[in-house]
Amino acid sequence: MKLILLLLLSVSCYSKDSEVKSKFSKVFENFHSHSEVSIPDPISDKPVNTKLLILKDIKKNIIGYAREIKTSTGCNSECLPVIFTLYYSKDKSFLNLSSKPGLTKKNHVSFTSEDYFRLKSILIKNPKSFKNIKHPYELVDMVSGATKSDYIPDVVEKAAYTSLRVNTYNQQTLKYLSSLGQ
């Protein structure tokens, strides 16, 4: 019985390691292992997104960074969670974004490839209009739910909350990475 339990535990750990390796190898071809450092969560009063992954090759050289995020849009209603991973190069610049479950827009419509492209360009641009927003509600008209015209150029259509949340985590991660001495 103990042998079976040990075997099941080993298979579970191996499959998780294999899943991690597969995920990061899609962005970093020579990914071999990772370590973690703590990073502040810029959104939550009860922080949960507090890990920055340092990605390494087989010789333990840093090849990049990743941050896995699971959060809300801030709508506090029937919005789906926002689950994504941000990737950064070894020189600490934004590289890519992925979402295994897929990001969604208003009414749970899935992001298209054009929406992901738009979101990545938003992350690179870091819209100035986001700087003074204290809550995602400020992006939309509270009666109609439509994105306010001032913000339309700076968000994915029908995904203003998601655009803001992802950008907030990206900017905070970039700031943290720039503080690392490595």
Beta-strand pair 51-56/62-71: antiparallel
Cα first-last separation, the chain: 47
In angstroms, rounded to a whole number, what is the distance separating the alpha carbons of residues 44 and 163?
A: 17
Give me the pLDDT at residue 77, please.
65
Average pLDDT of span 2-15: 44
The pLDDT tens digits of the residues spanning 69-85 come to 998 776 666 677 899 99
Q: Is residue 16 predicted with pLDDT exceeding 70?
A: no
Q: Is residue 4 predicted with pLDDT exceeding 70?
A: no
Q: Which residue has tokens 């939309």?
A: 140
In angstroms, rounded to a whole number, what is the distance separating the alpha carbons of residues 65 and 167?
A: 17
The pLDDT tens digits of the residues spanning 24-64 come to 888 899 999 999 999 999 887 788 999 999 999 999 999 99
Q: Is residue 3 predicted with pLDDT exceeding 80?
A: no
The pLDDT tens digits of the residues spanning 123-165 come to 999 999 999 898 888 998 888 888 999 999 999 999 999 999 9
Instruction: Find residue 159's DSSP bridge partners.
Output: 156
The pLDDT tens digits of the residues spanning 85-126 come to 999 999 999 999 999 889 999 888 999 999 999 999 999 999
